Structure 1
Amino acid sequence: MTKNSNNQLIEIPKIHDRRGNLSVIEGETIPFTSKRVYYLYDVPSGSKRGGHAHKKQQEFLIALSGSFDVILKDGKTIETVTLNKPNLGLLIVDGIWRELRNFSSGAVCLVLASGEFDEDDYIREYKEFKLFKNR
């Protein structure tokens, strides 16, 4: 568990043998069925990604390569989680503001989302997010 509500770090099963590691996300590894998969890569040094919240969608973030920080805000607390292992993912529940920063060279962020893209589900202004949380 992280400090913010129901967000949590989840270990992804890892199968190791002399040929290398294999990790699998299936069944109940994460608490939703993924409806969308996307990934971020070649993020320029000093750039930020994210900067939004979702009203209903959950996401599971994994650093497939390299590292990056995820800043989580629930309207009251702020927490930074560093992702840097491909067999450890961060579940971000709905109603949490997220920002991704400090991407290392070669970092790849894989995101599994509980829903397909829906612009109406996004809260893109932090001021609007604070109003959403205070309802």
Structure 2
Amino acid sequence: MANTYTQLYIHLIFAVHGRERLIRESIRERLQQYICGIVREKHHKPLAIYCMPDHLHLLIGLHPDQAIADLVRDIKSSSSMWLNENRLLPTRFAWQRGYGAFSYARSQVDAVVQYIQRQPAHHARVSFREEYIALLQKFAVEYDERYVFEWIE
């Protein structure tokens, strides 16, 4: 797109189906690399990623040629297929339906990168449910708690 200039930073969050803690440390880095490859292949820029055992945080520089929903669909379907075809888990893997997408200004990117990189320490204090609801509230996103992921406590 000639003469099109954008600066779009999107923090994506989505969960493992059933909120099962399937993403083991032994495959976490490989999965993160695979997902970043998908992001780059779609002409976006991966800035930070962290796969917790039951959910994922991903910060990207979004290219305007692809809708966020299409990118999330591509990441979820390709990464699930890759995990299952390579038998990297003892059970079949799938991501839960839905996702969160939150936009940030350039001045906030470094703080969001640090937040994502510190996920294990963050979740030692705060549950994924508390974190996600807090983000929805911070960004003033209207939601119905009945449809915000499947919470397994």
Structure having the larger proportion of residues in helix: 2
TM (norm. structure 1) is 0.30
Structure having the larger proportion of residues in strand: 1
